[in-house]
Amino acid sequence: MSTLLLLRHGLTELTGPVLAGRTPGVHLDERGREQADRVAERLAGIALDAIVSSPLERCRETAQAVAAGRGLEIHSDERFIECGYGEWTGRKLAELAKEPLWQVVQAHPSAVVFPGGEALATVQHRAVQAVRDWNERLGEKATYLVCSHGDVIKAIVADAMGIHLDQFQRVTADPASVTIIRYTPIRPFLLKLNETGNIALPEQGSADKDGGENITGSDAAVGGGAGTT
């Protein structure tokens, strides 16, 4: 039963007003660095078998704060990179909201292909496949962290919950929030969503004979949303 912690990167100067996308050189700002330090403290009591990150700077910087003192290298995986927003990259969200495609992103994201960019369905496919590969690579007892982006995390959560990609806008992933999914042989369990407070892993329940597990115990349309400062 692999346990995945999905961490969204901390704030940057572009988070919220501008769709940063894959723009190079976008680093955590002072608020984001403080968030990264705080989330590292919140996760300090959880033993991690691996830390994986989107290759973009803001994710790697957030992951580095968590990795500090753990003796773990950060694995870069392109499949967790931000959605390729193409011609939308670098534009203001207020401006993009006037585009006809914006309403499609809201109501029918599974049909969206960003001009000169990537389809949201492709984002979900590559990210979910990456999770499955890491689950297999690390083994069923592993607990690992992936630092990624709002829309990528929302797409993984939608898959874990068994809901259509068209419903992924109902999921929230704030900056520096942690979402926890436990993968069993038969189905995933969403243990925590958009957690910004103290974090503790629920103990693993016993797997039943069918492979299940007994467990006790408005976001922006693209870019994942600015969250709170």
Q: Along the 229 residues of the chain, how does pLDDT read in single tens digits?
A: 899 999 999 999 999 999 999 999 999 999 999 999 999 999 999 999 999 999 999 999 999 999 999 999 999 999 999 999 999 999 999 999 999 999 999 999 999 999 999 999 999 999 999 999 999 999 989 999 999 999 999 999 999 999 999 999 999 999 999 999 999 999 999 999 999 987 777 776 544 434 444 443 223 446 555 554 4
29 residue type, one letter:
D
Contact 66, 7 (CB under 8 A): yes
Q: What is the pLDDT of residue 227?
A: 56
Respond yes or no: is residue 149 known to be catalytic: yes
Distance CA 172, CA 115 (A): 25
Buried b (16+ CB within 10 A) or exposed e, 59-96: bbbbbbbbbeeeebebeebebbbbbbbeebbeeebeeb
Of 27, 75, 108, 149, which residue is the catalytic one? 149
Q: What is the pLDDT of residue 106?
A: 95
**Closest C-alpha among 197, 75, 83, 84 to residue 146:** 75
Distance CA 192, CA 152 (A): 16
Respond yes or no: is residue 125 known to be catalytic: no
Of 9, 27, 75, 108, which residue is the catalytic one? 9
Q: List C-alpha distances in Å: 224 to 194, 201, 214.
A: 11, 24, 32
